Amino acid sequence: MKQNKLLKLLYLTLSAIVVLISLAPLIWMLMTGFKEKTEVYRVPFSFFPDNFSNLANYSKVLTHKNFPNSMLTTLLGASISTTCCLIINAMAAYGFARIDFKGKKLLWAYCLLPMFIPSIAILIPSYVVVHKMGMLNTMAVLIIPGVAQTGHIFYLRQYFLGIPLSLEEAVQIDGGNRVQALIHVFIPMSAAPFVIVGFGAFVGYWNQYLWPLLTISKTKLYPIMQQLAFFRTERNIHYGVQMAGSFLAAVPPIMLFMFFQRFIVKGIKISGLKG
């Protein structure tokens, strides 16, 4: 009994250490947002600010002419991108998991091919394509190229393969079609995988930087990461303001993770799916 208590105490201690290490960068950004410019560069270094009531940096960020608009624009784009990603990837995964058609194995191998190609390798060809299609400086150029994701299709397909065929047959016996089977059987039974895919799509859109840097030059369309980079290029950089903006930009994904934490953990634990 005593040994079990010691092991439990050790486990809790190690867990607390890991949590503190993981949260340290976020806490440091929060603390730096309260600091005056002289405090940021002060030697010796001080982790905590002298005055926690100093909200000048956060006020400057929130009243900046472009930052609030970038937050709203990015939130809208991420929501649209996540919705489209779930719909398209779910339909593709269902097709590969349940529908038999000619050339299915060849097409599936072709769909898996992009997983082995670094995205940076197709960056310039992708830019040429969207340029010729007239998509530069539009929300579409940020949303459409990233909607279909091979990794998401693969993940959902593997989970769909584990759903009993009898449930789908029951829908067809009742006069339903495959779309109804997907909506009424597969989606309700796949809450955790859908949250994993949706969260990954949302964070992927929220954190994108290089692609918007190439395709977006209109200030009103700047996603949040591009806007934060703009702060760094301004003259007389104030790292307190920059850290305040970075912390505020990190809040929406963190809140989303906390809200769907139970499903995300469950989705990560899923294993032993049929190939």
Report the pLDDT value the prediction gives residue 1, as an integer from 0 to 100.
Answer: 64
Q: Is the pLDDT of residue 238 over 80?
A: no
Q: Is the pLDDT of residue 34 over 50?
A: yes
Banded pLDDT at 264 (limits 50, 70, 90): confident
What's the rounded Cα separation, in Å, for the pair 229 and 225?
6
Q: Is residue 38 part of a domain?
A: no
**DSSP helix/strand/coil, 137:** coil
The structure tokens listed for 249 are: 């930009």
Q: Is residue 13 part of a domain?
A: no
Report the pLDDT value the prediction gives residue 106, as an integer from 0 to 100.
Answer: 92
More confident residue, 84 or 2: 84
Banded pLDDT at 271 (limits 50, 70, 90): very low
CB-count exposure of residue 145 (10 Å: 0-12, 13-18, 19+): middle
Average pLDDT, the chain: 86
Q: Is the pLDDT of residue 220 over 60?
A: yes
Report the pLDDT value the prediction gives residue 99, as an integer from 0 to 100.
Answer: 87
Tell me the average pLDDT across 25-45. Answer: 84
Q: Is residue 29 part of a domain?
A: no
Q: Is the pLDDT of residue 273 over 70?
A: no
Q: Is residue 111 part of a domain?
A: yes
Kindly report which listed range (27-31, 114-118, 195-199, 237-241) carries the lowest average pLDDT score: 237-241
| CATH code for the domain of 244 | 1.10.3720.10
Kindly report which listed range (49-63, 89-103, 206-220) carries the lowest average pLDDT score: 49-63
Q: Is residue 112 part of a domain?
A: yes
What does DSSP assign to residue 164? -
What's the rounded Cα separation, in Å, for the pair 259 and 249?
17
pLDDT above 90 as % of the chain: 33
Q: Is the pLDDT of residue 274 over 60?
A: no
Q: Are 159 and 187 contacting, i.e. CB atoms less than 8 angstroms apart?
A: no
Q: Is residue 42 part of a domain?
A: no
Banded pLDDT at 177 (limits 50, 70, 90): confident
Q: Is residue 24 part of a domain?
A: no
Tell me the average pLDDT across 210-222. Answer: 90
What does DSSP assign to residue 50? S
Tell me the average pLDDT across 176-187. Answer: 85
Q: Is the pLDDT of residue 253 over 60?
A: yes
- Total tally of structural domains belonging to the chain: 1
Banded pLDDT at 153 (limits 50, 70, 90): very high
The structure tokens listed for 153 are: 């299709």
Domain boundaries, position 142: 57-269
Q: Is the pLDDT of residue 104 over 80?
A: yes
Banded pLDDT at 272 (limits 50, 70, 90): very low
Q: Is residue 114 part of a domain?
A: yes
